[in-house]
Amino acid sequence: MKIEKNYDFRKRFDQVHKPGRRDLSVTPEVNDFVITDDTVIIVPANADETIMTAAKDLQDYFFTSMNMSLKLKQGDVCSNSISYAVDSSVAKDSYIFEVTSDGIKITGNMSKDAFCGSVYLEDQLNLREAPFISIQKTERKKLISPRITHSGWGIELFPDSHLNAIAHAGFDAVVVFVTAIDKTNVGVLDINNLIARAKKFGLGTVLYSYLPAYKHPDDPDAKEFFDSVYGNLFRYYPDAIGVMLVGESAQFPSKDPRTTGKPARESVVDGIPCVKPAPGWFPCEDYPAWIKGVADAVHAVKKDALVIFNTYNWGWTDAELRREFLKKMPKDVVIQVTFEMFKKIKRGKYTAAVMDYTISESEPGEYFTSECAMAKEYGIPLLSTTNTGGLTWDFGSIGYVPVPQQWMKKFEKLNEARENWDLLRFYDNHHYGWEASLVTDLGRAAFWAPRIDMNDYFKKLLVRDYGKGADLMEEAYAFWSEAITYFTPTNEDQYGPFRVGPSYPFIFQPNITRTMHPKEIKFPTKDGAHFGYKIIKTMYEPYENIGQVPGNLRHPEEIKSLETMLDLWEKGIAKIEEALKLIPDNKQENALRVINLGRYIRTNIITGIHMKKWYGLNMKLRTAESIEESFGWLDKIEALAQEEIQNAKDAIPFVELDSRLGWEPSMEYVTDRWHLEWKLRQMESMLLEVKDYRTMLNLQ
């Protein structure tokens, strides 16, 4: 591994087919079709752009991964060929994969289904590490569609190379934030061009609405208004497959007396915040009518468009309140629910709650289970925010959370939800994107029929990636998958030290000032970033919530939990160090990248532990009742600061070896070398404040 410059990770992301997949020592079995340089890839004479893209991609796969040159031609099927076909008699969202002694035939219900069959062929050959495949015939059906993803390449950035990676990862739709026609939060975007290019790779495009539609559905001009916003959206983008709405970005002037009836930022009278929730954060009695107005406007233009409404903004409310909302919901709108949020959890002896997306919990929360059951009861179609792309807010500056056994537990629960409540659609990640990994490989396989034994498939993937080191890597991942269950998914952690990791500043909380300015630091992020510093809270403190015990009680227990997590994480790293001695040279980089990621995550965990201790020490200092006691707390504060300084220094080589570490699409770089050195400068400045505080204590 070489030192990378910022954004170099995109070069790796662009390489969908990995070189060196072929093991020349592998020989064919009796019941195999053997692909050779004489095998021809055949597409029908009337092949559309999606079939042509799939065939050219397969041709590149053989050249890059198997060191073979196969011809590509249009025409009739012949012997010794790999051919594509489209047949509407094949079940919806399905393809037939047939291997005979004469060749391979992939027949999809639509061309996008045939593309999936092409990726499946690549998967099977990668597992064999050779261009051999057994004679078989199977019909494979997609159980979840759409599986919607944001870009992992950059916010609203979808080069063809990344669209191809998205298709290979098992997603079948992309999503973009839309603030106006051809405009997003980060600037101008030719969305129709994106829609057309995505279609080549068998991908649909969903529009995530930030469109202002502040209109009450009872207003006399409401129908015309909704048409001018949402009807016009689909006139302009007729090939978009749907639109996503979420309460916080779809506020309206509700007349529900339980709300402020105003936008959140205006819900203030004479400087006094109103304690009632603003519309958008509560299941208002008139919200279903607003949603119906939007849906009617969309469906008048495009009848089959998905209109998706996310209810997570009021997932904290009583189930009966949410039931009244769902009873009134139009049946042609898809309800989006979040798998784990608001779930009550225990860290030590105290109750906490899942406040944002996490993989620390593999079981769903009450909001999810109750919402799904009620939606099923009322005949409302479902979509879930699942994060099965492999990333959550647990660590905000990595590409995926390497806890495959924990992900597989979650996949099983999602399949149970599909069987029980007809959960058939996924929102696979939020704006933090995704990275191709072992987790995406598992996710691609988990939601197809016929179902496979996921543990068996996992072991095959480990052999594919690590050879003789597979067993030790499985043990390492098991340690990490257990470790993540001790994570603390609180707002102060996920918007604080775990959002950026070891570049997170340590603020000395006594306010030594002549200007009376607050001590919150504006975290340095790139101008023009989608969110940038706005989603990083640097003045660490508990964000209290009625669903959890106050932070002063939780934090000591959460420190113990994170220390257990760190111990297990260290054991996983040690297992990979053992495995590296067994992994063959051509697979070493796979493990080196994983251990580098693991070591970087370790620095995140250490920062999280240090920050909780830091907050506690600062609180004790501020309530100390003697000079002697104050000096004691200052000694501990300075010692902890030195430990964190070393932790930040330790992180520098990890982010230099992998430029994806320390970056997140909506914030841009937050923990590259520059930011870690910025953190070190901040710590030096902070320690001068501590010195001043010592001077103050010495005053008599």
Which of 207, 285, 293, 218 has its CA nearest to residue 245?
207
Angle between helices 287-301 and 319-328 (to 10 degrees): 40
Domain 147-469 matching CATH 3.40.50: the answer reads no
pLDDT confidence of 17, banded at 50, 70, 90? very high
pLDDT of 528 strictly over 80: yes
What angle is formed at CA 125 by the lines to CA 122 and CA 128, rounded to 5 degrees?
Answer: 155
The ranges of the chain annotated as CATH 3.30.379.10 are 15-140
pLDDT tens sequence across 119-148: 999 999 999 999 999 999 999 999 999 999
Cα angle value 69/72/77 (rounded, 5°): 120
Q: What kind and span of H or E run contains 82?
A: strand 81-86
Confidence of residue 389 (pLDDT cuts 50, 70, 90): very high
CA distance 676 to 663: 12
Average pLDDT over the chain, rounded to whole?
96
pLDDT of 270: 85
Per-residue pLDDT reduced to its tens digit, 277-310: 999 999 999 999 999 999 999 999 999 999 999 9
For position 313, what pLDDT does the model report? 93
Structure letter (DSSP) for residue 180: B
Residue 154: the pLDDT is 96
Q: What is the pLDDT of residue 132?
A: 98
Cβ–Cβ under 8 Å, residues 91 and 139: yes
Q: What is the predicted pLDDT for the residue at 546? A: 84
- CB distance 103 to 33 below 8 Å: yes
- The 10s digit of each residue's pLDDT in 615-646 is 999 999 999 999 999 999 999 999 999 999 99
Task: List all residues 6 or more positions away from 220 whose beta carbon is below 8 Å from its beta carbon.
Answer: none
CA distance 69 to 318: 61
Tokens, residue 273 = 């915040």
Quick one: which H or E segment has residue 554?
A: helix 551-579
Sole residue written with tokens 């279903």: 288
If you average pLDDT over residues 334-355, what whole number do you get?
Answer: 93
SS (H, E, C) 104-159: EEEEECCHHHHHHHHHHHHHHHHHHCCCEEECEEEEEEECCCCEEECCCCCCCCCC
Name the CATH code of domain 15-140 (choices 3.10.20.90, 3.70.10.10, 3.30.379.10, 3.40.1170.60): 3.30.379.10
Q: Are 151 and 158 in contact (CB under 8 A)?
A: yes
Whether the per-residue pLDDT at 342 is higher than 90: the answer is: yes
* pLDDT above 90 coverage of the chain, percent: 94
Name which of 245, 237, 187 is nearest 211 in CA terms.
245
Q: What does the DSSP 8-state code read for residue 249?
A: G
Q: Say whether pLDDT at 264 is over 90.
A: no
pLDDT of amino acid 275: 85
Say what the pTM is: 0.96
Instruction: Give residue for tokens 């251990």.
Output: 595
Calculate mean pLDDT across residues 447-471: 98
How many Cβ atoms from other residues are within 10 Å of residue 64's Cβ? Answer: 16
The CATH 3.20.20 domain(s) of the chain lie at 147-469
What pLDDT, on the 0 to 100 scale, is given for residue 525?
97
Q: CA–CA separation, 561 vs 345, rounded Å?
A: 12
Phi first, then psi, for residue 83 (nearest 5°) are -120, 155
Instruction: Tell the burial category of 387 from Cβ atoms under 10 Å away from its Cβ (0-12, 13-18, 19+).
Output: buried
Non-local CB neighbours of 553 within 8 Å, separated by 6+ positions: 350
Which helix (H) or strand (E) segment holds residue 442: the answer is helix 438-446
Cα–Cα dist 133/135, whole Å: 7
Cα of 269 vs its chain's centroid, Å: 38
Q: Transcribe 351-419 into DSSP letters.
A: EEE--S--SS--S--HHHHHHHHHHHHTT--EEEE--TTS--SSSTTSS----HHHHHHHHHHHHHHHH
pLDDT attached to residue 216? 96
Closest CA to 26 of 171, 180, 132: 132
Q: Provide, rounded to the nearest whole percent, the portion of the chain with pLDDT above 70.
A: 100
Residue 511, pLDDT above cutoff 90: yes
A 10 A CB-CB count for 596 gives 19
Are the C-beta atoms of 84 and 118 separated by less than 8 Å? yes
> Is residue 612 over pLDDT 90?
yes
Render 451-486 in DSSP notation, one character per residue: ---HHHHHHHHHHHHHGGGHHHHHHHHHHHHHHGGG
Residue 609: other Cβ atoms inside 10 A: 24
Per-residue pLDDT band for 391 (boundaries 50, 70, 90) equals very high
Lowest mean per-residue pLDDT among 48-52, 344-348, 402-406: 344-348
If we measure between CA atoms, which residue out of 566, 578, 569 comes closest to residue 472? 578
Contact 477, 458 (CB under 8 A): no
- The three-state secondary structure class of 86 is strand
Residue 359 burial (C-beta neighbours within 10 Å; 0-12, 13-18, 19+): buried
What does the pLDDT read at residue 127?
97
- Considering only CA atoms, give the Rg of the chain: 27
Q: Above 80 in pLDDT, residue 700? A: no
Torsion of CA 320, 325, 327, 333, to 10 degrees: -140
Structure tokens at 236: 């302009």
For residues 612-648, b (16+ Cβ closer than 10 Å) or e, as one string? bbbbbbbbebeebeeeeebeebbeebeebbeebbebb
Span 59-71, mean pLDDT?
Answer: 97
Are 93 and 109 within 8 A, CB to CB? yes
